[in-house]
Amino acid sequence: MATTITMPQLGETVTEGTVAQWLKKPGDSIEKYESFVEVSTDKVNAEVPSPVSGVLREIICKEGETVATGAPIAIIDEVGAAAEPTAVPAAAPAVQAVEAPRRNGAPLTNGATPNSAETLRRVSPAVRRLAREHVVDLSMVLGTGHNGRITANDVIAAASAGPSAVMAATIMLEPVATPTLTPAKPPASTPVAPPPDAARSTYAAPIPGTLVPLSPARKTIAQRMVESLATAPHAWTMVEVDVTNLWAWRAKAKDRFAQDKGHALTLLPFFIHAVVASLKKQPLLNSRFTAEGIYVEKNYNIGIAIGMESNLVVPVIREADSLSISGIAIAAGKLIDKARAGKLSMDDLGGGTFTVNNTGANGSVLSKPIINGGQAAIVTMEAIVKRPVVINDAIAIRSMMNVCLSLDHRVIDGTASNAFLSDLKKRLEAMGPSGEL
């Protein structure tokens, strides 16, 4: 018997998934519960276990394809069952092969959205020839065929609609085709001067850029950032924190810690520990705005923003209020390791109530973070910089760190945010080598 495997729903709100990698080829045998495909949704990469033992008969959804949850992605023949003949008549394969869903779900408008490489790779001989004959840029043609395929008639329609803007610009560049740049009545003996180079640069067609396709993660990030900025009026404030003593403490403890616990001791766990304590004093910062009212969280689940090469993930340290600095360091270390390996699960990512962003890790001294949707504020720890600071009318060299806060002004006003920041500042400045990890 054949079992059709569908795109799993990884997370309640997830509506689509992308096949990141097939771990099995058609013809490979698969044990029940054995991972056979890696699927990425939102920000999670998950390996999907097989519901049956059998042989992978057919891969329906190719690597890189995004389909709705519940859509078929593969067929597995269960062990002991002979492969059934395919129901499609033998004439079909050629047609079938091109029925793969389009990568870009958004409808094209003529000349607006360039076609994907996938669409362009599959043009028919007639389309290729007509495009060449009519000098039509296929990336700008609206496909009206099956699954958005560009048909021969589409090319002819595009050709009769006239050359595209880029084409027109290119044609204008041809020296012989620029009568306006030619003197109206050149003396017969004087050869016509070529158009001045200045004119060329003025009207130069832009060098075409490249289009980086949106990964599922990038799509999600884009959507959430826009949503957050559009719904939460962001206010911003900053304090300077003297972390000289804290820095000394961390320097003293870090080697031993790494040796004992197997994780690096950065400034982050100290910071989170202080943040959680300050949040407890200002519970409004650990809340979210809803239509019914401000929902104040009782959990202190701290999201930590981790920048990846092309991606941003915010795994969550759960119940951070129950953890020591050391406990936070270990929890954070584990999450960072998982993030780098692309192994974060939905559980690692959900449920954050407040976010800490270590922007200083990349040298930033001041930033204006966007609040993570469903939270009331986000705080950054900027780079530690040695600066001359006036203490008791004397100038001293101190390790200074800026701490920036973006807040949802629907929830929090200056009073609460300033109370939070000055409490946090006090706590951080009070931390020193005599403290307990």
Binding site for other proteins (CB under 8 A): 89-92, 94-95, 98, 124-129, 145-146, 149, 151-152
Using the minimum distance from each CB to other proteins, give the nearer residue, 125 or 191.
125
Task: Kindly name the residue from 42, 337, 413, 423 that is annotated as catalytic.
Answer: 413
Smallest distance from the beta carbon of 142 to other proteins, in angstroms? 15
Active site residue 413: yes
Using the minimum distance from each CB to other proteins, give the nearer residue, 127 or 241.
127
- State phi, psi for 134 to the nearest 5 degrees: -95, 5
Smallest distance from the beta carbon of 62 to other proteins, in angstroms? 19
Using the minimum distance from each CB to other proteins, give the nearer residue, 134 or 340.
134
Using the minimum distance from each CB to other proteins, give the nearer residue, 77 or 154.
154
Smallest distance from the beta carbon of 131 to other proteins, in angstroms? 11
Using the minimum distance from each CB to other proteins, give the nearer residue, 89 or 209.
89
Task: Kindly name the residue from 137, 234, 321, 409 that is annotated as catalytic.
Answer: 409
Q: Decide the pairing of beta strands 72-78 and 29-30.
A: unpaired
Smallest distance from the beta carbon of 92 to other proteins, in angstroms? 8
Give 76's contacts (C-beta < 8 A, 6+ positions apart): 2, 3, 5, 30, 50, 52, 54, 55, 56, 57
Smallest distance from the beta carbon of 123 to other proteins, in angstroms? 9
Smallest distance from the beta carbon of 157 to other proteins, in angstroms? 13
Q: Which residues are catalytic?
A: 409, 413
